[in-house]
Copies of this chain bind each other. A is one copy, B any other.
Amino acid sequence: MTELDITIDRSSPIPLYHQVASAFDKAIREGVLPPETKLENEISLAKRYNLSRPTMRQAMDQLVRDGLVVRRRGVGTQVIGPPVRRNLRLSSLYNDLQDEGAAPQTRVLSLETVTAPEPIREKLGLGDGAEVYHLRRLRLVDGRPLALMENWLPVTLAQLTREDLEADGLYNLLRRAGVDFRMAHQRVGAAVADEEQASQLKVEAGSALVVMERTALASSGAPIECGRHVYRADRYAFDITLMN
């Protein structure tokens, strides 16, 4: 039954419930509120921070959705541990690697504009003869190859250059160009490496590869970009946290 010392800035443009949720989120991840800790009840908490109960509840709701606490009617709210891994995000490999302190490198194998082939046109909902970028990249970490990435996206979205692509991830570039992602459908499967993949990834032909196909969608639901990535199975896997 630990209390938390939170300062709330009512003049801030950040919503109150978000300020509260962030503070608790931080405290839980940092261990200030260890697992099993029972929180005060909503009413007291609201009073403590001079908030209304709905606002306090909104903050708690977010913590529940993020999988940091559990609420049980008639019982109360409890911190659940161990510190959950962050959920799979719509950020792509580049950020994931950066976050882990690794030094990702990118080698652009090819970057060309082509008229979109049928399957791509369908995936991206494009008309006949639409122009798309077709790019193939090799991702290395610590100098060792990790993934082969192939992507397609409309040329109208952004101006892509080899230099930009070698300096930053595709998604970061697009985001900076004003493209706002909201969702992505992914399919994760497996395959064995063919001769070319094997030589690029420095593995033996017949080795296991993780295959990921992704279609990214804008907030309108319109497809923006699609791609197919293959990873060395001995160096990469997808972590997913499911909640119901």
Contact = CB atoms under 8 A, between A and B. Distances in A.
Given A67-B183, A220-B80, A240 B189 contact: no
A108 interface: no
Copies in the complex: 2
A242 B191 contact: no
A81 B215 CA distance: 14
A91 B183 CA distance: 22
Interface residues of A, number: 49
A221 B183 contact: no
Among A80, A233, A242, max chain B CB count under 10 A is at A242
Contacts of A67: 183
A90 interface: yes
Interface stretch (A15-23, A134-142, A202-210): A202-210
Interface of A: 35, 54, 65, 67, 70, 72, 78, 80-85, 88-91, 181-192, 206-211, 217, 219-221, 233, 236-244
